Amino acid sequence: MSDIKNSEIANIIKESLGLDSQSSSPRALDESYVAQPKPFDLNTEFLSQKNKLAHKELYDNYVSTFNKVSAELDAVDKESANLNHSTFRSLKVDEAYNLNALWLHELYFANISDLRSEIAMDSIPYMRLERDFGSFDAWQKDFIACALSARNGWVVTGYHMYLQRYVNTVVDLHSLNHMFGIFPVVVMDVWEHAYYRDYLKDRKTYVFAMMKELSWSVIANRFAKAEKINAAMRG
């Protein structure tokens, strides 16, 4: 893989995390990661205002907890790390949990609530999902099956770097059972907190409602980045 492609991948990852893609200075090893909560405008009428506010509060809490954990990791005793019980181990587990939680929520909030949702048959998302799942309808059916299978978790469609194709994956909680090496393009929150207030236990109706308003323009932008990763992986 050439240096140019490596830097291109680095910039894609930086952009997707909201970091300055032009910055070339490496992060110091003892410097905490710091995430900032992002604003989201959810106009959908498929979710109540109370639900939206409560969900935003949860997201803000994941961001602040991630920052706290990250800062504590800077100072934690690494000499006593062990698999049975150690502060270092607990912090590393919480780091992954809260980082996944905040990023998945950002991806989810950004790709729902498009009141003019539509997808063109000649768009990259449509063509890639059709290519890798057999048909767009087959992707939808698989996505819904995944959404109904997660235990308080997530369904994610993403580009898999090893398989070099798009896949759907089930995530339990924020960090269990998902596949490594996926660049996410479509993300749906299926924790009970995402729908129970408005849909009680009818997760399927909630998922259908959210899928009606997927923001295919946001998703197409993610596919464009995934296609660059695909080109780099094949290079």
List residues near Fe ion by CB under 5 A. 189, 191, 194
Least Å from the CB of residue 136 to Fe ion: 26
Smallest gap, in angstroms, from Cβ of residue 107 to Fe ion? 11
Residue number with CB closer to Fe ion (12 or 194): 194
Owner of token pair 């291109």: 8
Closest CA to 108 of 148, 55, 66, 149: 55
Could you tell me the smallest distance in angstroms from the CB atom of residue 120 to Fe ion?
A: 30
Pick between residue 112 and residue 229 the one whose CB is nearest to Fe ion: 112
The encoded tokens of residue 50 equal 């109370």
Q: Which residues contact 146 (CB under 8 A, 6 or more apart)?
A: 155, 168, 169, 170
Q: How far is the CB of 177 from Fe ion (least distance, A)?
A: 17
- Residue with nearest beta carbon to Fe ion: 189
Shortest Å, Cβ 203 to Fe ion: 13
Residue 100 or 230: the one with the smaller Cβ distance to Fe ion is 100
Q: How far is the CB of 99 from Fe ion (least distance, A)?
A: 14
Question: Which one, 161 or 214, has the nearer CB to Fe ion?
Answer: 214
Of the pair 113, 230, the CB lying nearest Fe ion is at: 113
Of 133 and 191, which CB lies nearer to Fe ion in the complex structure?
191
